[in-house]
């Protein structure tokens, strides 16, 4: 039997991205982090915040459930540490909600940073009023069942992205970006450089110093749209 096959369904102890990296990453937009990660790690746009003002950063606590059953989300909340982000592979199912107001209130009391669900939630107005960062693929008033087994802190697929327990997860109005735990700290200086470069670009646009990207004509030549020596 392989080591993977022998792993228990519930993994209680995981290595999380460190708190200093989380704090630094929280200052950057999800889009900047996705760019410096090679334009990867951003979840599918169907997974969106219930309110554009919601934002978060933290280590992933991963949950795999069967569609429409939230037993393992309750288990995840029971073992979560303050600052964790519960990330749920709900199979993209929108037939019933996996969480609502009561569980969101419990998350706030436990110090959980956010929940990201590839599935549906409910009680959206109450969750918005609470201000708890809840990201989901949709809404549905149906409640879930609570008896189907799943797994905690195993690799999962959410919104087209593989998420490992302990990975850095950052969310804002644009959506959610996941960065591998081992890469997260090294990407932060690149994120700072990109923020500075974009600020310079915007300043040049506003001052009318540069109203087109410096790289545009070279890219058009490389694509065969214009010929060598030709300009726009």
Beta strands in the chain (DSSP E): 48-49, 56-64, 85-97, 114-121, 134-139, 151-152, 156-158, 161-163, 168-172, 175-179
> What pLDDT, on the 0 to 100 scale, is given for residue 30?
98
Query: Does some domain include residue 158?
Result: yes
The pLDDT tens digits of the residues spanning 169-207 come to 999 999 999 999 999 999 999 999 999 999 999 999 999
pLDDT tens for each residue of 15-32: 999 999 999 999 999 999
Confirm whether 89 is domain-assigned. yes
For the cut 50, the answer to whether the pLDDT of residue 84 exceeds it is yes
- Residue 134 domain-assigned? yes
Residue 7 pLDDT:
86
- CATH number, domain containing residue 178: 3.50.30.40
Whether residue 7 lies inside any domain: the answer is yes
Domain membership of residue 214 (yes or no) is: no
pLDDT given at position 5:
59
Q: In 26-100, which ranges are continuous DSSP H helix?
A: 30-36, 71-79
Domain that holds residue 17: 3-183
- Can you tell me whether residue 23 is helix, strand or coil? helix
Task: Assign 1 a pLDDT band (cuts: 50, 70, 90).
Answer: very low
pTM of the entire structure?
0.93
> How many folded domains does the chain comprise?
1
Say if 99 falls within a structural domain. Answer: yes
24 assigned to some structural domain: yes
Query: Which residues have a Cβ under 8 Å from the Cβ of 151 and sit 6 or more positions away?
Result: 9, 10, 63, 64, 72
| pLDDT tens digits along 29-73 | 999 999 999 999 999 999 999 999 999 999 999 999 999 999 999
In a domain, 57, yes or no: yes
Q: What is the sign, positive or negative, of the torsion defined by CA atoms of 64, 69, 72, 73?
A: positive
Cα–Cα distance for residue pair 99/71, rounded to 1 Å: 11
Measuring CA to CA, how many Å separate 46 from each of 77, 92, 140, 194?
Answer: 24, 9, 14, 26
């Amino acid at each position: 039997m392989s080591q993977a096959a022998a792993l228990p369904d519930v993994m209680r102890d995981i290595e999380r991205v460190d708190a200093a990296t989380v704090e630094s990453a929280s200052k950057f937009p999800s889009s900047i982090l996705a760019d410096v990660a090679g334009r990867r790690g951003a979840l599918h746009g169907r997974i969106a915040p219930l309110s554009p003002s919601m934002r978060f950063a933290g280590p992933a606590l991963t949950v795999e459930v069967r569609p429409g059953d939230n037993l393992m989300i309750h288990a995840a909340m029971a073992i979560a540490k303050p600052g964790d982000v519960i990330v749920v592979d709900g199979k993209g199912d929108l037939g019933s909600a996996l969480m609502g107001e009561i569980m969101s209130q419990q998350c706030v009391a436990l110090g959980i940073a956010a929940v990201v669900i590839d599935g549906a939630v409910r009680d959206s107005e109450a969750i918005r009023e609470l201000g708890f960062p809840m990201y989901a693929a949709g809404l549905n008033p149906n409640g879930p069942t609570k008896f189907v087994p799943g797994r905690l802190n195993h690799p999962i697929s959410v919104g087209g992205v593989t998420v490992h327990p302990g990975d850095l997860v950052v969310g804002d109005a644009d959506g959610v970006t996941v960065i591998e735990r081992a890469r997260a700290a090294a990407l932060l200086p690149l994120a700072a450089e990109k923020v500075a470069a974009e600020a310079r670009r915007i300043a040049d646009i506003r001052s009318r110093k540069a109203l087109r990207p410096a790289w545009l004509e070279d890219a058009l030549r490389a694509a065969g749209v214009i010929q060598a020596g030709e300009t726009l």
